[in-house]
């Protein structure tokens, strides 16, 4: 009986720091140029078309290309740049897409603490998983079909509400699971920092200096 053809092995994923040490690795300056060029081209393409299918494909970029591909393009970019802002929006949508139940629960908890930001985020009252997914999609769609600064501010408000919800979760965990509460508190701080970065990026876009 003839041997079955061997299936090619999938290449192992490299740690970003290991990749930087490889001979011929992309120069940081070139990597930055690629990040800015691809981000600008993507936004221009989306804003230049009236085809909803094109916008839908851009919103689903991570699902079609993979988070690691998008990360390789933009994850090293500063939050004060267009690729950095886009990276944060896509990561936020990916989290919502993968764990909408947790996101919806934390959002519901956070609305009482920051009602103004709840209004800006534009999420349905007492949202469920489908509602937060719809908002994440709408925010990214707004990058390509509406005012980019509005989309960034909406995402920032969304993160602020989630940060408040995570802080409430941390308070409840503090007695029964102190280490879990610490992790939750750190997560809340990271969400708040992301909110501030997105809001700053919105101001830069309005000033014409987000590139």
Distance, in Å, from the CA atom of 27 to the CA atom of 173, rounded to the nearest integer, reads 45
Q: What is the pLDDT of residue 10?
A: 36
Residue 189 belongs to a domain: yes
Residue 175 pLDDT greater than 90, yes or no: no
The per-residue pLDDT for range 104-126, each reduced to its tens digit, is 999 999 998 999 898 999 998 88
Residue 2 belongs to a domain: no
185: number of Cβ within 10 Å: 17
Residue 141 belongs to a domain: yes
* Angle of helix 148-176 versus helix 82-98 axis, rounded to 10: 50
Confidence of residue 155 (pLDDT cuts 50, 70, 90): very high
Confidence of residue 174 (pLDDT cuts 50, 70, 90): confident
Distant-in-sequence, close-in-space partners of 32: CB < 8 Å, separation ≥ 6: 76, 77
Of 32, 136, 16, 27, give the one whose Cα is nearest residue 68.
Answer: 16
Confidence of residue 7 (pLDDT cuts 50, 70, 90): very low
**Count of the separate structural domains present in the chain:** 1
- Residue 70's domain comprises 28-206
Residue 113 belongs to a domain: yes
Report the mean per-residue pLDDT for the chain.
Answer: 87
The per-residue pLDDT for range 13-61, each reduced to its tens digit, is 344 444 444 444 567 888 899 999 999 999 999 999 889 999 999 999 9
* Torsion sign over Cα 72, 75, 51, 134: positive
Q: What is the pLDDT of residue 112?
A: 87
Distant-in-sequence, close-in-space partners of 19: CB < 8 Å, separation ≥ 6: 25
Q: For the whole model, what pTM was predicted? A: 0.84
Residue 160 belongs to a domain: yes
Mean pLDDT of 74-93: 96
What are the CA-CA distances from residue 27 to residues 4, 17, 40, 47, 208 (Å)? 42, 13, 20, 30, 28
**What are the DSSP calls for 81-121, one per residue?**
SHHHHHHHHHHHHHHHHH-HHHHHHHHHHHTTT-HHHHHHH
Q: What is the pLDDT of residue 19?
A: 43
Residue 102 belongs to a domain: yes
Alpha helices in 5-60 (DSSP H): 16-21, 28-47, 52-59
Residue 153 belongs to a domain: yes
Q: What is the pLDDT of residue 59?
A: 95
The per-residue pLDDT for range 118-153, each reduced to its tens digit, is 899 999 888 999 999 999 999 999 999 999 999 999
């Amino acid at each position: 009986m003839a041997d079955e053809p061997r299936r090619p092995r999938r290449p192992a994923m490299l740690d970003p720091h290991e990749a930087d040490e490889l001979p011929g690795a992309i120069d940081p300056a070139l990597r930055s140029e690629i990040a800015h060029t691809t981000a600008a081209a993507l936004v221009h393409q989306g804003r230049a078309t009236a085809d909803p299918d094109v916008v839908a494909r851009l919103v689903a970029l991570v699902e079609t290309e993979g988070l690691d591909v998008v990360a390789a393009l933009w994850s090293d970019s500063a939050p004060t740049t267009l690729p950095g802002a886009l990276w944060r929006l896509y990561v936020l949508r990916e989290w919502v897409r993968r764990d909408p139940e947790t996101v919806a629960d934390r959002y519901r908890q956070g609305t009482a603490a920051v009602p103004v930001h709840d209004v800006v985020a534009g999420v349905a009252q007492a949202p469920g998983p489908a509602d937060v997914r719809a908002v994440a999609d709408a925010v990214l769609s707004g990058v390509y079909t509406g005012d980019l600064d509005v989309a960034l501010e909406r995402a920032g408000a969304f993160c602020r509400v989630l940060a408040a919800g995570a802080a409430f979760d941390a308070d409840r965990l503090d007695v029964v699971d102190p280490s879990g509460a610490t992790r939750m508190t750190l997560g809340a701080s990271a969400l708040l920092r992301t909110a501030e970065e997105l809001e700053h990026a919105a101001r830069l876009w309005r000033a014409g200096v987000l590139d």
